Amino acid sequence: MYIEQAYKGLHDWWRYIVGVIIAIAGVFIFSVPHAAAIAYKQLKGEVDMSKLNDINYIMTLFESNINLILILLPFVGGLICLLLAVKFLHKQPLIQLTTTRKSIDWKRFWFVFFFWGILSSGLVLLDYFMSPDDYVLNFNLTPFLILCVIAIILVPLQTSFEEYLFRGYLMQGLGIITKRKWVPLITTSLVFGLLHISNPEVEKLGYIIMVYYIGTGLFLGIMTLMDEGLELALGFHAANNLFTALLVTADWTAFQTHSIFKDLSDPTEAGFIDVFMPVFVVFPILLFIFSKVYKWNNWKGKLLGRVEEQSVHEEINDIGVS
């Protein structure tokens, strides 16, 4: 019933096109501070104009905490504009974009947030103790505390924008337009993955890393449809980005922060562990665990079934009768 929630608001196909344009406009508007900061450095002669197409160079123009704010602000703008489009363009309450439950289940969010945050951090620490030469202690108390404040506030907004856009807005919109659940599941996963193609990791690891990005999108999409809500996807994505930003950084990652550790290993040697292990081993195990915890059933119907408007009308009538 998660996709069918869109039927409770205004759901003409053109509204979703306008809504996406509004969200993208929010991203561009909140990118102005970053562009203005670069322009100011240009006026001061502190920018090598020949390197402005190099994302790695751009990310070194500012102190890392300031840079983190500048690169996360566009996601905040996108989230604000997307939620405004949902409210005023679709007349759809936020709860209906978030979940099929009567209220947002924060227990689900916090469960997966701490579950994945602790597990992923444990794996990083295990790798640190097994391969200490691949890491250097990067901890510096004052900039780290500033990083904590910035990351705790802005990273969840960044990940929430991506979840509400892909697993929420586009999942529901494409679902009711195509009447098939597998179409938005596959489409949003592909688009989500391909939008990461400009990340510095792609340049270092090659296009094979797209398997990880697309696989992550598919994992989050399956989780959303099976659990009939965004709570688990929101918690997982927030934990994944937040704990990573605080724990480990590298010269070739999207988030270059004052983290506790810095990874010095050769990224070209990533291969199976960094790309294929999460998608084909870790994510399936996590889906199995969550399916047992939350008693998921009817996998075929929820992932491959038809999107039926009638079922929503029946639900509304049942509520009215009761």
Residue 42 identity: Q
- pLDDT tens for residues 260-278? 999 988 776 556 677 889 9
The size of the chain, in residues, is 322
Residue 148 burial (10 A CB sphere; 0-12, 13-18, 19+): middle
Mean pLDDT of the chain: 91
Between CA 217 and CA 8 the distance in angstroms is 26
What's the confidence (pLDDT) of residue 61? 85
pTM strictly above 0.85: yes
Residue 135 burial (10 A CB sphere; 0-12, 13-18, 19+): buried
- pLDDT tens for residues 62-119? 899 999 999 999 999 999 999 999 999 999 999 999 999 999 999 999 999 999 999 9
Measuring CA to CA, how many Å separate 214 from each of 68, 70, 194, 196, 255?
24, 26, 7, 9, 19
What's the confidence (pLDDT) of residue 100? 97
